Amino acid sequence: MNSIQFPTHEKIIEAVDKLQNEAIEKLKQMVSFDSVLGNERDVQLYVEEVFKSLDLKVDRFEIDLEKIKHLPGFSPVNWSYKGKENVIGIHEPAPTQHASKPESERKSLIFNGHVDVVPTGRDALWTQNPFSPYVKDGRLYGRGSGDMKAGIIAFIIAYKAIKELGFTPAAKVLLQTVVEEECTGNGTLACLERGYRADAAIIPEPFPEIITAQVGLVWCKVNVRGKPAHTLEMSKGINAIDGAMYLVGELRKLEAEWNTVKHEAFSDKFDHPLNFNLGMISGGEWTSSVPCECSFDLRAGFYPGTPLEKVRKTIIDTIDRAAKEKNLPYTIEWNGFQAEGVTHSASGDMMKQLGATYKSALGTDAIYSPVLCTTDSRFFELYYNIPATCLGPESKAIHGIDESVSLESLRDITRVLACFISDWCGLQPLH
């Protein structure tokens, strides 16, 4: 065998760039699936076909609640997992002596992305239908375009670019598309429970910076009982909506209090790192009746290192004190995210390599930065000792109206991920 010319970053980037039109077309396909919670199946079948077209071995499997519900990081749900499937494209390198790295330096890699998207709000608020993707001024618009179907396309195209050059990763690479990143993370947890591990995990969430920390967050639904009455004797009733508003006001005070505390991972960049979001509210059934019930859904951020139990207890205590003041019966349900915060040390091997690859591929220094949300990277790092981070295409209005992703950034991130495969896993000839 002649000596093998392994592709340089330059060659890899060329190969990525040749696939940009395909990337855009595939991204449009992905975005056209309305894959909100409970509706993820069709896009997963599409991804499965794409993985198969790349000659990846595919494992499509339903989440088994019984297998994950006792695991650290699990978030409880009140819906069924029937038909909820993750898809994993598995690259196992053939044994070879002809890789770009000695065997001991070939490291395995997980690319992980979620296919679920958040609801869109009324279609009428969008310039075009949120699931009819379109390109304008270098950006692709549609729900899930940035968060995070472009990220999934980035690792698919990165993998494909290597193949187009006649090579494959010289270590195991797992391309994972999961459900439920937007509410629990149980999709990724199920992949880990199923035994899928690697030396690092990268999630191309829509942050064009390498993520060094993310907040923890809990979701809870607070149900407030009032005392219904005719409005003619309003003072005899207790308005559950007014009651809920009072509780929210007290929770806002707690939010302010939490933000007076600084955390080294966040405080340099953010004035107000811990956001309490009142995401949903619903109460009452008749304009002239004092409403007897009102529920609201809270998302509360907190710093890494704060135990979940302590977070929940503080929230419970705040609600309990306020509710007793106003004589309001209440319940709290803790479904959805019960997610710890996490820091990803910028000095770890993967983090350093990713920064170096970024610089080499794009010619500029990567920025290392914390984010004020949660991502599935926490599972890898906290519970399975797998270094993990996020780095993905620059996006706008994620969870908002007219969400979009930069196609130039999609190309850049794809370049970085493709070069990173080479740098982290090593390459070997395809045949």
Positions touching its own copies (CB under 8 A) are 118-119, 121-122, 125, 147, 182-183, 217, 219, 227-235, 237, 239, 241-242, 245, 248, 272, 275, 277-294, 296-299, 301, 336-337, 371-373, 397-401
Q: What is the CA radius of gyration of the chain?
A: 23
How far is 40 from 33, CA to CA, in rounded Å? 8
Q: Which is nearer to its own copies, 54 or 245 (CB)?
A: 245
- Give me the least distance between CB of 241 and its own copies, in Å please: 5
DSSP code, position 367:
P
Q: Where is 255: in which H helix or E strand?
A: helix 240-260
Q: How far is the CB of 147 from its own copies (least distance, A)?
A: 7
Report how far residue 228's alpha carbon sits from residue 194's, in angstroms, rounded to the nearest whole number: 50
Residue 390 · residue 203 · CB < 8 Å: yes
Instruction: Give bridge partners of residue 211 from the DSSP assignment.
Output: 369
Report in angstroms how near the CB of residue 260 gets to its own copies at its nearest. 17
In the complex with its own copies, which residue's Cβ is closer, 223 or 353?
223
Pairing relationship of beta strands 330-333 and 173-178 according to DSSP bridges = unpaired
Min CB(306)–its own copies separation in Å: 18
Minimum distance, C-beta of residue 114 to its own copies, in the bound complex (Å): 13
202 phi and psi, to 5 degrees? -125, 130
Determine the angle formed by the axes of helices 41-53 and 150-164, rounding to 10 degrees.
10
| Count of all residues that appear for the chain in the document | 431
Report the C-alpha gap between 24 and 411 in whole angstroms: 10
**Smallest distance, Å, CB 336 to its own copies?**
6
- What sign for the dihedral angle of Cα 69, 75, 78, 83? negative
CB of 46 to its own copies, least distance (A): 23
- Separation CA 214–CA 201 (nearest Å): 15
| Coil/strand/helix, residue 102 | coil
Question: Which lies closer to its own copies via its Cβ, residue 135 or residue 281?
Answer: 281
Q: Which residue, 62 or 123, is less far from its own copies as judged by CB?
A: 123
Tokens 């699990």 belong to 74
CB of residue 92 to its own copies, shortest distance in Å: 36
- With respect to its own copies, which residue has the nearer C-beta, 187 or 237? 237
In whole angstroms, the minimum distance from the beta carbon of 407 to its own copies comes to: 20
Nearer to its own copies, 296 or 379 (CB): 296
At closest approach, how far in Å is the CB of 103 from its own copies?
40
Decide whether 51 or 219 has the Cβ nearer to its own copies.
219
> What does the alpha-carbon distance between residue 376 and residue 341 come to, in Å, rounded to a whole number?
11
Closest by alpha carbon to 202, among 325, 348, 364, 409?
348
Closer CB to its own copies, 66 or 271, in the complex: 271
Tell me whether residue 271 or residue 365 sits nearer to its own copies (CB atom): 271
Residue 58 vs 397, nearer CB to its own copies = 397
Q: How many angstroms from the chain centroid is the CA of residue 132?
A: 22
Burial annotation 415-429 (CB, 10 A radius, 16+ → b, else e): bbbbbbbbbbbbbbb
Helix segments in 123-203, DSSP class H: 150-164, 186-193
